[in-house]
Structure 1
Amino acid sequence: MSAPIGVEVEGLDIAANPTESDYQFLRDALHEHSVLILRDQDITPQQQCDFAAHFGDLRTSFYNRYGVQDVPALSIVSNIRRDDGEHIGIADAGMLWHTDGSYLASPDMYTVLYGIQIPVRDNTVLGDTVFSSSWAAYSALPSELKQRLDGMRAVHSFSAHIEKKQAKGQLKRAPLSAQQRDALPDVEHPVVRRHPVNGRKCLFVTEGHTSRIVGMDDAEGTELLKFLTEHVKKPDFHYRHHWRKGDLIIWDNCAVQHLAVFDYGDIPRRLHRAGIAGSVPV
């Protein structure tokens, strides 16, 4: 791709049982290029799970009310409504820049997203996903700032994420139960984490889930956090994906942040998501 991240992998049919050497090829490509695109796939929910499991342990979402029937490791991302008016899936996923599961002690390492219904208006595909390279963003920082960030930690909060969405009028999902809130306490992570496979240093603060810098007063911490989260959103670091039905995308949550583009209104959109658990960031 004409971007610092993203490659399209051709000639691999996921439904035809890829070999272990195929999976090793994909893992190596993923760690090098951060985002993999496999077009024209025709797979069942179970085949998506089986594919994702080759990258690590699948993590069932705490939003299990939006799980695929009989395949709870897959979550539905969709704006489609049931007869009772509730969405069949998470309708507001990705409205703020984020990396999946950063609000957990061990965030998601990879995400596998499969396009089933893709919105189109006047022959134009809508609902793009934009990825930004967190390692390219870190590399572009001045050396003095890199030294300043060394050893800093930040708080990631799902509660703060929900509050941000409410403030912007973006919240469309069912509310969390008290039990779900209690199961998601705030966590601290390094502001700069090192990739566990290739060793790249990656910015690990996001617009969506990072609430504050540990040990800094509110004004100074807010200023630094705003600078970093705006920096990682610069187009120089982007790959923008234009979806097609049958697209299967795998991305590395240590290496990228992403944003969903909500430009399709009520035109039906449905994707299935698998999350793969990672390690504690260092």
Structure 2
Amino acid sequence: MSAHSATILTRPSAEGGARVRALAPALGAEITGLDLAAGVTPEAVALVLESLHRYGVVVVRDQHLTPEEQLGFMGRLGPVKTSSYSRANAFCVPGYPDMMVISNIVENGRNIGLMDAGAMWHADGTHMARPDMYTALYALEVPQRDGKPLGDTLFASTAEAYDALPDALRERVTGRRAVHSFAHHIEKKRRLGDLRRPPLTEAQKAELPDVEHPVVARHPVTGRRTLFVTEGHTARIAGLAPEESDALLEELWAHIRRPEFIYRHSWRVGDLLIWDNRATQHLAIFDYGELRRRMHRVETIGPVPE
């Protein structure tokens, strides 16, 4: 982590026997000894938020959560996001329209959840005027081969990436804005052969217009500057010719993906993985084929990026 970042937590927390341990140099931490199903205290919420803002991504281990409990906990972190796109495509947990199923499982001839989530580096909801603030993914089924878990998720710290920008590149992007587009995202998936969901309807396109956000955004809580352009949803940099925009975006994406900014999460059943969507990007690894994988996702809405 950058020198000005908060000191790494290795001490016992104020929340009973819970402990926080850093997992990688740039980002990532685990919390053990916290039982969210037993009741969410103000101290538990404060511990998770403090850890998120220090480490970007936090895994709370060994949870046994009902959908109500996961939704209730995320509601303590912020307003829970409602997704008309998820509802229209029947990707929700039955009876819980604000909770999306992320899964490759097919039952009765249909996918029970979203099968291609995370195929490109992205941050959740950047195609919206108010992108997601926090996302929580709860692991119910984790595929394994020869005793090794599959389907890892990679995270990159966009705050650390910004801090490490060369001066010339920082000057080129300061003050610029970029266009984020869900239609672009879906079309890019199709071109790459990664699309495993229905195409957008005209009604969905109308509900999800393109938006502009700053290329360099300030985190709404910590105040740190972050790079806010993603391989998955950023279509172009406003005001630049297409060739110049494409080249600059590729340079920024390659910088964000540098190994020193990465944490790779290896899943366990019972992991509640929460990430700060305004300070990170992530990528799913599809190495499990037809082996069953099932997760429940809940997101909170954040402010307009500045």
Query: TM-score interval w.r.t. the shorter chain?
Result: over 0.9
Task: Tell me the equivalent position of 1:175.
Answer: 199
State the 1:2 CA deviation: 2.6
1:173 CA displacement: 1.1
In 2: Cα distance, 1:177 partner to 1:224 partner: 31
Match for residue 77 of structure 2 among 52, 55, 59: 55
Out of 220, 239, 247, the position equivalent to 1:196 is 220
1:103-156 Cα shifts (integer Å, max 9, x gaps): 000000110110000000111110000000001111111122212211100000
Structure 1 Cα separation of the partners of residues 54 and 119 of structure 2 = 27
Confirm whether residue 223 of structure 1 aligns to residue 241 of structure 2: no
Identity in percent: 49
Q: Provide Cα deviations, 1:235-279, integer angstroms capped at 9, x if missing partner.
A: 110000000000001100110000000000000000000010001
Which residue does the alignment assign to 1:43? 65
Aligned to 1:107: 131
2:94 to 69, 85, 107: 69
Q: Which amino acid aligns with 1:81?
A: V
Q: Following the alignment from structure 2 to structure 1, what is the Cα–Cα distance between the partners of residues 32 and 270?
A: 13
Instruction: Find the partner of 1:205 among 229, 253, 273.
Output: 229
Q: Is the 8 A contact 2:130 2:304 kept in 1?
A: yes
Which SS does the other structure have where 1:60 is aligned? coil
TM-score by length of 2: 0.90
- Partner of 1:12, secondary structure, is coil
Q: TM-score, normalised by structure 1?
A: 0.98
Q: Pick one of 233, 236, 240 that aligns with 2:257.
A: 233
Find the aligned partners of 2:224 and 2:129 in 1 and give their Cα distance: 20
Cα distance in 2 between the residues matched to 1:268 and 1:25 = 32
Aligned to 2:273: 249
Q: How large is the RMSD of aligned CA atoms in angstroms?
A: 0.8
Aligned residues: 281
Output the CA distance in 1 between the equivalents of 2:207 and 2:65: 33
Give the 5 Å matches for 1:98-177: 98-177=122-201
SS in 2 for 1:273: strand
**Structure 1: gaps of 5 or more residues:** none
- Structure 2: where are the runs of 5+ without partners? 1-22
Q: Deviations over 1:72-111 (max 9, x none)?
A: 1100000000222x21100000000000000000000110
Q: Which amino acid letter does the alignment assign opposite residue 213 of structure 1?
A: I
Query: In the alignment, is the contact (CA less than 8 A) between 1:12 and 1:18 conserved in 2?
Result: no
The AA in structure 2 aligned to 1:79 is N
Structure with higher RCO (Cα < 8 A, 6+ apart): 1
1:29 is matched with which residue: 22, 39, 51? 51
CA distance in 1, matches of 2:301, 2:157: 20
- What is the DSSP-based 3-state SS (H/G/I as helix, E as strand, rest coil) of the residue aligned with 1:73? strand
1:34 maps to amino acid? G
